[in-house]
C-alpha cells in the first residue's frame, strides 16, 4: 500500500534529467517535419519539371526531307523495273497481292499497288488501289484496281530521303491515341504492365513479384517498373541504376498519373520508347519503328510484327533482328505466348504469327540521309530562310526536286565509270562530281559530291573550286557575238605572246600544239582552239567576258587576266551548272533550286519556292551561240559522244580540260536535262584525261540510261540562215552541205553568201537545218519570251 520512498542520489552522482525523453521526441518530430517540408518542396519541384516538359513541346521533331512525288500518266517513258525501284526506295513492300497501303505486287508488265495518304502543297492525296500496265518502255494504262475506271494521272507519295536532326539525332513519327491500334495497345499492356489501368503509377504487387523472382534466381531477371515508370525513366531521367534514380522514378510516376490520363501517358510512351538504331539516327516510337522495320504504318502491323517490336523494348540492340535474328525470333515467340494467354490474339492467330518469318534485312528501310550531298545543298538553301531550331525541332516537311530515277543513274555510273577510267589510265585516286537539272525549270534533279555517294565528307559538287578550262569559252564567244562577230567571222588561230609588268611572258598553245590559221569562229569554238579564243577575247575585252560570266549566274568577282579566257579561274560544278542553265534556257536566268515547298508539321504551307525568271541576254544571241554548241557535239571535241547518245537528241555542250590535264569537265544539255560532270583528283595531280576522255564519258553513261527529249531550239524572230560561199573564205570549202548553213542575227549575214531565199530550187544541195523552221510550240520558254516582247 505504501510506495517505497526513493533515496536521494549519493554525493557526486549526477541527477537524471526529467526532460531527456521529451527532448528526443521533439527532435524526432522536428526532423520529420523538416523532412516532410523538404519532401513537399522536392515533390513540388518535380511536379513543375514534369508539367513544364509534358505540357510544352515534348519532342524536338526533325525536319523531314522528301524527293519529288512520282507522277504516272499514259505514254510516260517508264518501265516496270523503274517503278519497282522507286517503290522500294519509297518504302513500299512487295506482296503476293497488294491489299494495304504501301503494298504492291507485279506480274510481268502489270503492277498493282496501294498508295499511301500524303499531304501535298495543293492538299491531301488519299490512298488508292491502282493498276499500272506497261507496253514496251512506257506506261500504257492506269486504272483503279477495284472498279477498272481509267485514270489520266496517279501521284504517289514521295520517298523520304533524309532529315535534319537536333544534336541527339533522335527521330520519330508522332502518333495520337487514335493512331494506336487496339492490337498494339492490348499487347503492350499484356506484356509490359498488365495492371496498367488500375495502378497509380507504381505497382506494389509487380515490385514484390519481381523481388521474389530475382531472389530465387540470384540475379535481376525481372523488373517491376510500370509503363509510367518506364516513360519517366526515358523521358525525364537516365539509365543509371541507383537508389536515388529509382526513388525519383517512382515519385515522378505517381505525380504524372495525378495530372494526366492513362491514354495521354500511353500515347507518350508509344512515341518515346527507343526501338533501335539506324546508323547515326535513333529510332524512337512505334510509328517510326513500324516504317523502319516493316515498311508499314502502325495500323497495318500484323500480330507477329507487333510482337517483335514489343519484344525489342527489353533490349533493342540485344534483340535487333538485323544482327541477332535467332535471339529476336525467340523473344518474339515469348511475347506471342503472353498475347495469347491474355486473350489478345486467338489460337489461330498465334499459330500463324509463330510460323511467320522475320523481316529480312532487305526489308528494313533506312531513312537517314540517303543522299548526303543533295541534302547538304537543301540545308544551305534553307539556312537563308530558317533558324537552326526551326529545322531541327518543328517537324517541317520539305518537298524537294530530287528525282530518284536520275539520282540512281548518277550514283551508279559515276562510280562505275571512274573505276573504269582508273584502269584505263593506271591512275588511282580519281574523284568526280555531277549536277543534273531540269532545262526548263532549273530544278536540280540529282547531285553527287563524290564517287562514293553515301560517304560523308567533302562535297565536291558544291565546294570543289577547280579551273574550268574550255567551259569558259561559250562566255567568250557570247561576248564576241554581242560585239558584232558572227559564227562565220574569220579568226586567227596563230601563236600569240602576252607580257605584263613584273611577270614572265605567257605563250598559250592549243591542245594539239598546232596552229590552224584562219578559221571561222564557230570552228574555233567547236574545236576548242585556244589561240583563236585568246585573240577574240582580248579584242572584245577580258573585262566584258568576266561581266558576262557574272550575268550568266556566277555571282562573284574574277580578276580580268588574259588567262581567264582559257578557264584559269576556278569554279565549283554547281556554279558551272548555273552558268550553263542560263544558256540552256535561252538567255533567261533561273536560280537553280532544290526545294519546291515547305510545310509545317500540321501540313500548312509556309513557303513555296517558285520559278524566278530574269531575261539577261537577247534570245537571238543565245540561239546563235547554242547552235554553235551543238556543233561542238556534232563535229567538234565532243563528237565521240555519239557512242552514247544518238544524233537525233541534238545535244549541245562543251568539253573542258585544265592545264596538265588536272581537271576533266563536260557540260551539256538536251531538250529536257542539263548535266555538268567534273573528274579530277583531290590532290590536284594530273589525271591523264581530257574533257572528252573523262567527264564526257561519265556524262554519256548517265544520260544514256535516262529517257531524253531531243533538243529543239526555238528560233526567235530576226534570225537569218546562210551558207558560206567558197569565194569569201576558201578554207570553208569543206563545210559545204548542211554543215555550212549558219544562223545570223538580222543584218549581220556576211556578203558573198548563199541565203536560204537566194538558193535556186533546182540546186541539189541540202536544205537549211531543221532549226531554221520556226517552231510555234507553246512550251515554257515560248510563253516566257512572250512576256518580254
User: 303-312 and 347-355 helices cross at what angle (nearest 10)?
Assistant: 70
Produce one character per residue of 391-415: b if its CB has 16 or more CB atoms within 10 Å, e if not. Answer: bbbbbbbbbbbbbbbbbbbbbebbb
Neighbours of 642 (CB within 10 A): 14
Q: Cell digits for 523? A: 570552228
Q: Is 650 left (phi over 0), alpha (psi -120 to 50) or beta?
A: left
Q: Is 190 left (phi over 0), alpha (psi -120 to 50) or beta?
A: alpha
Question: Which residues are registered as beta bridge partners of 304?
Answer: none
Three-state SS letters, 257-301? HHHCCHHHHHHHHHHHCEEEEECCEEEEHHHHHHHHHHCCCHHHC
Select which of 86, 170, 192, 431 is catalytic: 192
Q: Cell digits for 42? A: 522536392
Determine the distance from the C-alpha atom of residue 742 to the mean position of all C-alpha atoms in its chain, rounded to a whole number: 42
Using alpha carbons only, give the angle 249, 254, 260 rounded to the nearest 5 degrees: 115
Q: How far, in Å, CA of 60 to CA of 165, rounded? A: 8
- The single residue listed with the C-alpha cell 534485312 is 361
- The single residue listed with the C-alpha cell 561542238 is 632
Q: How far, in Å, CA of 624 to CA of 315, rounded? A: 68
Three-state SS letters, 76-136? CECCHHHHHHHHHHHCCEECCCCCCCCEEEEECCEEEEECCCEEECCEEECCCEEEEEEEC
3-class state of residue 324 by DSSP: coil
Q: How far, in Å, CA of 410 to CA of 783, rounded? A: 31
Instruction: Find out whether 332 and 354 touch, Cβ atoms under 8 Å.
Output: no
Q: How far, in Å, CA of 380 to CA of 373, rounded? A: 11
- The single residue listed with the C-alpha cell 541540202 is 766
Neighbours of 491 (CB within 10 A): 24
Q: How far, in Å, CA of 130 to CA of 115, rounded? A: 8
Return the half-sphere exposure (C-beta side, CA atoms, 13 A cut-off) of residue 519: 20
3-class state of residue 285 by DSSP: helix
Least Cα distance to 273 among 322, 312, 226, 320 occurs for: 312
DSSP tag of 720: E
Question: Does the active-site annotation cover 470?
Answer: yes
Residues, the chain? 789
Q: Do strands 93-94 and 103-107 pair parallel, antiparallel, or not at all (unpaired)?
A: parallel
- The single residue listed with the C-alpha cell 545570223 is 744
Which DSSP helix (H) or strand (E) runs through 215? Answer: helix 204-217
Select which of 187, 437, 470, 577 is catalytic: 470
Return the half-sphere exposure (C-beta side, CA atoms, 13 A cut-off) of residue 144: 6
Determine the distance from the C-alpha atom of residue 131 to the mean position of all C-alpha atoms in its chain, rounded to a whole number: 28
Question: Which residues are registered as beta bridge partners of 755?
Answer: 722
Q: Cell digits for 107? A: 506480274
Q: Cell digits for 623? A: 540561239
Least Cα distance to 439 among 673, 162, 733 occurs for: 673
Q: Do strands 595-599 and 129-135 pair parallel, antiparallel, or not at all (unpaired)?
A: unpaired
Q: How far, in Å, CA of 640 to CA of 634, rounded? A: 9
Using alpha carbons only, give the angle 332, 334, 338 rounded to the nearest 5 degrees: 115
Question: Which residues are registered as beta bridge partners of 160?
Answer: 66
Q: Which residues are catalytic?
A: 192, 470
Amino acid at each position: 500500500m505504501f510506495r517505497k520512498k526513493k533515496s536521494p542520489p549519493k554525493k557526486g552522482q549526477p541527477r537524471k534529467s526529467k526532460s531527456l525523453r521529451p527532448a528526443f521526441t521533439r527532435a524526432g518530430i522536428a526532423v520529420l517535419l523538416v523532412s516532410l517540408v523538404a519532401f513537399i518542396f522536392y515533390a513540388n519541384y518535380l511536379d513543375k519539371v514534369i508539367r513544364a516538359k509534358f505540357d510544352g513541346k515534348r519532342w524536338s521533331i526533325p525536319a523531314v526531307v522528301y524527293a519529288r512525288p512520282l507522277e504516272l500518266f499514259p505514254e510516260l517513258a517508264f518501265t516496270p523495273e523503274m517503278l519497282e525501284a522507286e517503290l522500294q526506295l519509297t518504302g513500299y513492300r512487295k506482296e503476293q497481292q497488294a491489299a494495304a497501303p504501301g503494298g504492291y505486287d507485279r506480274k510481268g508488265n502489270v503492277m498493282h499497288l496501294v498508295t499511301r495518304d500524303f499531304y501535298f502543297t495543293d492538299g491531301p492525296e488519299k490512298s488508292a488501289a491502282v493498276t499500272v500496265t506497261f507496253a514496251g518502255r512506257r506506261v500504257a494504262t492506269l486504272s483503279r484496281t477495284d472498279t477498272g475506271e481509267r485514270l489520266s494521272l496517279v501521284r504517289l507519295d514521295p520517298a523520304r530521303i533524309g532529315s535534319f536532326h537536333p544534336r541527339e539525332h533522335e527521330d520519330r513519327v508522332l502518333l495520337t491515341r487514335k493512331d494506336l491500334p487496339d492490337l498494339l495497345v492490348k499487347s503492350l499492356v499484356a506484356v509490359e504492365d498488365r495492371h496498367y489501368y488500375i495502378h497509380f503509377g507504381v505497382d506494389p504487387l509487380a515490385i514484390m513479384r519481381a523481388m521474389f523472382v530475382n531472389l530465387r534466381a540470384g540475379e535481376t531477371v525481372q523488373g517491376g517498373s510500370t509503363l509510367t515508370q518506364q516513360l519517366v525513366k526515358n523521358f525525364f531521367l537516365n539509365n543509371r541504376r541507383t537508389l536515388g534514380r529509382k526513388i525519383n522514378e517512382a515519385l515522378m510516376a505517381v505525380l504524372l498519373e495525378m495530372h494526366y490520363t492513362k491514354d495521354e501517358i500511353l500515347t507518350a510512351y508509344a512515341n518515346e520508347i527507343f526501338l533501335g538504331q539506324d546508323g547515326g539516327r535513333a529510332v524512337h516510337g512505334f510509328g517510326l519503328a513500324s516504317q523502319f522495320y516493316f515498311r508499314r504504318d502502325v495500323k497495318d502491323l500484323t500480330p507477329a510484327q507487333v510482337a517483335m517490336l514489343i519484344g525489342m523494348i527489353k533490349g533493342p540492340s540485344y534483340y535487333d533482328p538485323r544482327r541477332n535474328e535467332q535471339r529476336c525470333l525467340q523473344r518474339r515467340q515469348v511475347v506471342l505466348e503472353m498475347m495469347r494467354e491474355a486473350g489478345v490474339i486467338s489460337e489461330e492467330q498465334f499459330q500463324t504469327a509463330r510460323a511467320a518469318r522475320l523481316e529480312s534485312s532487305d526489308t528494313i528501310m533506312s531513312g537517314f540521309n540517303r543522299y548526303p550531298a543533295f541534302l547538304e545543298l537543301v540545308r544551305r538553301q534553307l539556312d537563308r530562310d530558317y533558324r537552326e531550331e526551326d529545322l531541327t525541332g518543328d517537324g517541317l516537311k520539305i518537298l524537294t526536286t530530287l528525282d530518284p530515277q536520275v539520282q540512281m543513274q548518277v550514283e551508279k555510273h559515276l562510280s562505275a565509270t571512274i573505276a573504269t577510267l582508273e584502269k584505263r589510265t593506271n591512275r588511282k585516286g580519281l574523284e568526280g562530281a555531277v549536277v543534273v537539272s531540269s532545262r526548263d525549270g532549273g530544278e536540280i534533279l540529282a547531285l553527287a559530291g563524290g564517287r562514293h555517294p553515301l560517304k560523308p565528307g567533302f562535297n565536291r559538287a558544291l565546294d570543289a573550286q577547280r579551273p574550268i578550262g574550255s567551259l569558259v569559252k561559250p562566255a567568250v564567244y557570247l561576248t564576241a557575238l554581242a560585239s558584232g562577230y558572227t559564227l562565220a567571222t574569220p579568226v586567227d588561230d596563230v601563236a600569240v605572246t602576252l607580257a605584263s609588268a613584273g611577270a614572265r611572258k605567257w605563250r598559250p598553245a592549243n591542245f594539239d600544239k598546232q596552229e590552224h590559221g584562219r578559221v571561222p569562229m564557230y570552228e574555233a569554238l567547236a574545236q576548242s582552239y585556244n589561240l583563236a579564243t585568246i585573240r577574240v577575247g582580248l579584242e572584245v575585252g577580258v573585262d566584258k567576258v568576266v561581266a558576262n560570266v557574272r550575268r550568266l549566274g556566277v555571282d562573284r568577282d574574277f580578276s580580268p587576266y588574259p588567262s581567264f579566257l582559257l578557264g584559269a579561274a576556278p569554279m565549283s560544278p554547281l556554279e558551272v551548272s548555273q552558268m550553263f542553265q542560263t544558256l540552256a534556257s535561252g538567255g533567261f536566268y533561273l536560280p537553280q533550286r532544290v526545294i519546291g515547298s515547305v510545310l509545317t508539321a500540321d501540313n500548312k504551307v509556309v513557303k513555296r519556292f517558285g520559278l524566278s525568271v530574269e531575261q539577261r541576254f537577247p534570245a537571238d544571241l543565245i540561239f546563235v551561240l547554242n547552235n554553235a554548241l551543238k556543233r561542238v557535239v556534232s563535229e567538234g571535241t565532243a563528237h565521240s559522244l555519239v557512242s552514247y547518245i544518238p544524233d537525233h537528241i541534238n545535244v549541245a555542250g562543251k568539253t573542258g580540260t585544265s592545264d596538265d590535264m588536272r581537271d576533266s569537265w563536260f557540260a551539256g544539255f538536251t531538250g529536257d536535262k542539263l548535266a555538268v560532270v567534273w573528274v579530277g583528283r583531290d590532290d590536284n595531280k594530273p589525271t591523264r584525261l581530257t574533257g572528252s576522255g573523262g567527264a564526257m564519258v561519265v556524262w554519256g553513261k548517265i544520260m544514256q540510261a535516262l529517257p531524253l527529249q531531243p533538243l529543239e531550239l526555238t528560233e526567235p524572230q530576226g534570225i537569218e540562215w546562210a551558207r558560206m560561199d567558197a569565194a569569201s573564205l576558201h578554207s570553208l570549202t569543206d563545210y559545204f552541205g548542211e554543215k555550212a548553213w549558219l544562223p545570223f542575227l538580222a543584218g549581220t549575214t556576211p556578203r558573198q553568201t548563199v541565203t536560204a531565199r537566194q538558193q535556186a530550187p533546182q540546186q541539189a544541195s541540202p536544205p537549211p537545218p531543221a532549226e531554221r523552221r520556226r517552231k510555234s510550240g507553246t512550251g515554257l520558254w515560248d510563253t516566257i519570251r512572250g512576256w518580254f516582247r
